A and B are shown apart, each in its own frame.
Chain A
Amino acid sequence: MHGDFLSLNSLTVIAGQDKSGNAEGNDIVFSPGEITALLGPTGSGKSRFLYDIESLADCDTPSMRTVLLDGVKPDPDSRFELQGRLVAQLTQNMNFVLDMGVYDFICTHAESRSVDDPEETACKVLAAANELAGENFERETQLTQLSGGQSRALMIADAALLSWSPILLIDEIENAGVDKIRALELLVKSDKIVVIATHDPVLALSADRRLVIENGAVRDIMHRSEAEENLLKKLEAMESEYSKIRSKLRKGESLE
């Protein structure tokens, strides 16, 4: 309970039932360093799925799913201790309310995690965040002055490098003005189980696999086909074209 680092080799979600009580088709095993995209319209049951993980469901949530850690059911004591600490979440509507400088804040976070060298770790987090944001901010910049993209970038970097939770859940990383492909790389390197709820085609296709959620249950587990691989390359090329044009416009250059 005291900021100890949790390591996990696998997390299994044993199938339950959908909102109509029909059996869910697939058990799902998550491993560290793997990115899973969660797809499905609002209300399809994405949050339910994540809540099951977070609360270490044991046939006691509406979905009747069961969660195993490293292949076994956690005993009641460790279950209670881990509940609500397994999953680090980055939500969309995230602000800073603390009146602190960026560097001081990350240092404080590192200290709360009893990291050996908080200053050095904070520098790493800031450098990674600056890479993702594209607009640099300073160590002394107040948290509350960061732009949306900068705060998102800082949070992704912090979650990847400093958060103690072995599972990281990110909601719609794409609307943030961060370099999402770089963000994915950073997250894979963090050796966490990463789950991304997204509507972004590039992100969804970049993930190792896609879970399609419907009526409260996982309907399909999809892996990238060769055709999709090619489509992804095409989309990435389009995106890079698009951002080139955007950056030219920003700098006031002619597009003729």
Chain B
Amino acid sequence: MRLVTVAGPPSCGKTSILTKACSDLLAKGISCAVVKFDCLQTKDDDIYARAGIPSTAVLSGGLCPDHFFATNLEEAFSWAEGTNAECCIIETAGLCNRCSPHMRGVLGICVIDNLMGIEAPKKIGPMLKLADLVLVTKGDLVSQAEREVYRHRIRQMNKKAVIRNINGLTGQGCRDLATVLSMAPDIKTVTEMRLRFAMPAAVCSYCLSETRIGNRYQKGNVKKAVFGGSDAR
């Protein structure tokens, strides 16, 4: 089964472009399935279902969404195999900007929009830096110059990726995305595969539902910042 990871901030248009691209694949007779990882709530599985695309949505709830993602990849892959899909797309919005869901040997896509501000490509970090394909949405709301400057900033962060403007509302560019999805590497199993970037560490009292503020409640892997100094950044 071909496997693709798609990451990007909430509401940047991941579901819109994937719905259109997958519909295009279905029309060509290529079956696909979508697994949506999210944090608190999602209705995206309804959107996929309405388009006739097999999908399932899972919520990380009280857990770190990135660790939740990593610990459920095998099961997600098995579910998608069970739908007999030729192409499985894992969409995740539950990542903090410190994280990247992309795996070595699996097509990694990052979606960002043109309205996030010029510094966004710098702030988004590894999910953009380590992507094979960067898709930029909402370009119709800004000027050509802004699109070009933004593209340049993305290029500074990621020297290798293919960068494409795409529009989830008009569908412009979604057909090309479908073509890319249909050529994603064929994967036998995700077991033993490696993430391109290590997940952030998280073993402290707050991981175990501590809510009180104060030094005395902080146990485990705790990092203290230096404020007002040069290494505070």
Contact = CB atoms under 8 A, between A and B. Distances in A.
Interface of A: 1-3, 47, 51, 54-55, 60-61, 80, 83-84, 88-91, 93-100, 105-106, 108-109, 112-113, 151, 154-155, 158-159, 162-164
A157 to B, nearest CB: 10
Contact of B170 (A47, A98, A109, A164): A47
Interface in B47-103: none
Nearest to B153: A112
A155 B145 contact: yes
Nearest to A54: B172
B144 A159 contact: yes
A98 B148 contact: no
B155 A158 contact: no
Contacts of A55: 173, 175-176
Interface residues of B, number: 25
B110 to A, nearest CB: 16
A97 B146 contact: yes
A96 B142 contact: yes
B118 interface: yes
Given A105-B145, A158-B145, 7 more contacts: A1-B163, A80-B162, A83-B176, A96-B146, A98-B118, A109-B145, A159-B144
B115 A109 contact: no
A91 B169 CA distance: 15
Contacts of A98: 117-118, 146, 149
A94 B151 CA distance: 17
A112 B149 contact: yes
B145 to A, nearest CB: 5
Contacts of B165: 84
22 contacts: A1-B163, A3-B148, A47-B170, A54-B172, A80-B162, A83-B164, A84-B173, A89-B144, A90-B144, A94-B142, A97-B114, A97-B141, A99-B117, A100-B118, A106-B145, A112-B148, A112-B151, A154-B143, A155-B143, A158-B144, A159-B144, A164-B148
- Which one of B114, B145, B149, B164 has the highest number of Cβ atoms from chain A below 10 Å of its Cβ? B145
B146 to A, nearest CB: 6
State the 7 A-B residue pairs at the shortest beta-carbon distance, nearest first.
A112-B152, A158-B145, A155-B143, A88-B144, A109-B145, A94-B143, A84-B164
Contacts of B118: 98, 100
B168 to A, nearest CB: 15
Nearest to B164: A84
Nearest to B113: A97
